[in-house]
Amino acid sequence: MSRRALITGITGQDGSYLAEHLLEQGYEVWGLVRGQANPHVSRLRKHIGDVRITTGDLLDQGSLISAVERVQPDEVYNLGAISYVPMSWQQAELTAEVTGMGVLRMLEAIRVVSGISPSRTPGRAQIRFYQASSSEMFGMVRETPQNERTPFHPRSPYGVAKSYGHYITQNYRESYGMFAVSGILFNHESPRRGAEFVTRKVSLGAARIRLGLATELRLGNLDARRDWGYAGDYARAMRLMLAQDAPVDYVIGTGRTQSVRELVDFAFRTAGLDWEDHVVLDEQYTRPAEVDLLCADPKRAREQLGWEPRIGFEALVTMMVESDLRLLSESARPEDEPFSPDHW
């Protein structure tokens, strides 16, 4: 019989790639959404195929218990979050509730449905849980590169909420014997990335200027450095973590960094442009507390999971710019894309 997976955040970038990957592996895939009338569901199905939908909300404990009872999953992937870091300063409390407490509610739903308690530990056929942790938890980094033992110092409400989700996942694993793991994923991008994220903002900006739809692109800090990979590669790592004999947390990244300036330069050159003719620095896009450098040490994932990224930085940026040139040439609007930035 095929394995059954439940994905929160299925209408986001990561959820869509994970759903595709699991379907290719023969899974029955269910997505958790906040309402059947969600407009992103029909567009998601056009791109992904045979995905089943159940309703639930990371703010509502009872709805999550009902969803887990209905689906009876073998695996739960908690990707749902308010994931745009700048928004977390504007909606700090909501970010804490969804991105942090939402993890606790999903773990509790699994525990309740499974009948797990301090005196009753799960059996071999227990539900396996994956939590989408983030490199933003490292924040003001203590060492470079960052591995599974590097201390956290988050620099945004988003990073703080993700840290809570990470630790509560670890706590349920140690308290109840649950198969619960966190993937500490570094920045991962694709043509499905929301238009508000810097990589997609750059690829769309370059495409708009190339097509004569704009003349400038306004950005903030060009010196921040990130470890950027391809979201489709990172979806493979999620499944591999739940396929192991024992629950272990993993850092997932490329081990290489580029600055935002290098990202902009390559994207504009891909579009046949000189970025210095079009990019304007704007202080409104500077974070209240900046994270200057994030770089993964994925040694554990490489050695224990056999995972390696397949798409490099330049191929990723080329993919995104060419996709946005096609998208805008067809007069489509990025906000009409099927993969929603609001994916919790």
Residue 163 annotated to the active site = yes
Q: Which long-range contacts (CB under 8 A, 24 or more apart) does 56-63 make?
A: 56/8, 56/32, 58/8, 58/97, 58/98, 58/101, 58/102, 58/105, 58/106, 58/344, 59/97, 59/98, 59/102, 59/105, 60/105, 61/105, 61/108, 61/109
Residues 304/248, Cβ–Cβ less than 8 Å: yes
Q: What is the pLDDT of residue 83?
A: 84
Same domain assignment for residues 172 and 125 = yes
- Report yes or no on 316 lying in a domain: yes
| Residues listed for the chain | 344
Looking at the fold, whether 86 and 207 belong to one and the same domain comes out as no
**Domain check: are 178 and 35 in the same one?**
yes
For residue 341, being part of any structural domain is answered with: no
Tell whether 175 and 285 lie within a shared domain.
no
CATH, residue 215: 3.90.25.10
* 336 occurs within a structural domain: no
Domain match, 159 and 281 both: no
Counting the structural domains of the chain, the total is 2
**Shared-domain flag, residues 288 and 208:** yes
Residues facing 4 on adjacent strands: 28
CB neighbours of 182 closer than 8 A, spacing ≥ 6? 130, 131, 132, 133, 165, 166, 169, 170, 249
Give me the CATH number covering residue 142. Answer: 3.40.50.720
Please report, in angstroms and rounded to a whole number, the separation of the first and last CA atoms in the chain: 29
Same domain, 265 and 307: yes
Q: Is residue 278 part of a domain?
A: yes
Are residue 268 and residue 139 in the same domain, yes or no? no
What amino acid occupies position 128? R
Of the CA atoms within 13 Å of residue 48, those in its CB half-sphere come to: 31
pTM: 0.94
Per-residue pLDDT of the chain (344 residues; tens, 9 = 90+): 689 999 999 999 999 999 999 999 999 999 999 876 677 777 777 778 789 999 999 999 999 999 999 999 999 999 999 988 888 899 999 999 999 999 999 999 999 999 998 877 777 779 999 999 999 999 999 999 999 999 999 999 999 999 999 999 999 999 999 999 999 999 999 999 999 999 999 999 999 999 999 999 999 999 999 999 999 999 999 999 999 999 999 999 999 999 999 999 999 999 999 999 999 998 887 878 778 899 999 999 999 999 999 999 999 999 999 999 999 998 656 656 667 666 67
Among candidates 89, 104, 287, which has minimal Cα distance to 198? 287
Q: Which residues contact 140 (CB under 8 A, 6 or more apart)?
A: 153, 155, 291
343 belongs to a structural domain: no
Any bridge partners for residue 108, and if so which? none
What pLDDT does 335 receive? 59
Provide the domain limits for residue 121: 4-189+228-252
- Residue 170 domain flag: yes
The answer to whether residues 163 and 14 belong to one domain is yes
- The burial of 53, by beta-carbon neighbours within 10 Å (0-12 exposed, 13-18 middle, 19 or more buried), is given as middle
User: Catalytic pick from 134, 135, 163, 190?
Assistant: 163
Task: Give the per-residue pLDDT at 337.
Answer: 67
Same domain, 241 and 275: no
* Claim to verify: residue 148 and residue 95 sit in the same structural domain: yes
Q: Tell me if 268 is assigned to some domain.
A: yes
- Dihedral sign for Cα 46, 50, 53, 58, please: negative
| Closest to 8 measured CA to CA, from 26, 34, 46, 28 | 34
Whether residue 175 sits in one domain with residue 211: no
Is residue 337 in some structural domain? no
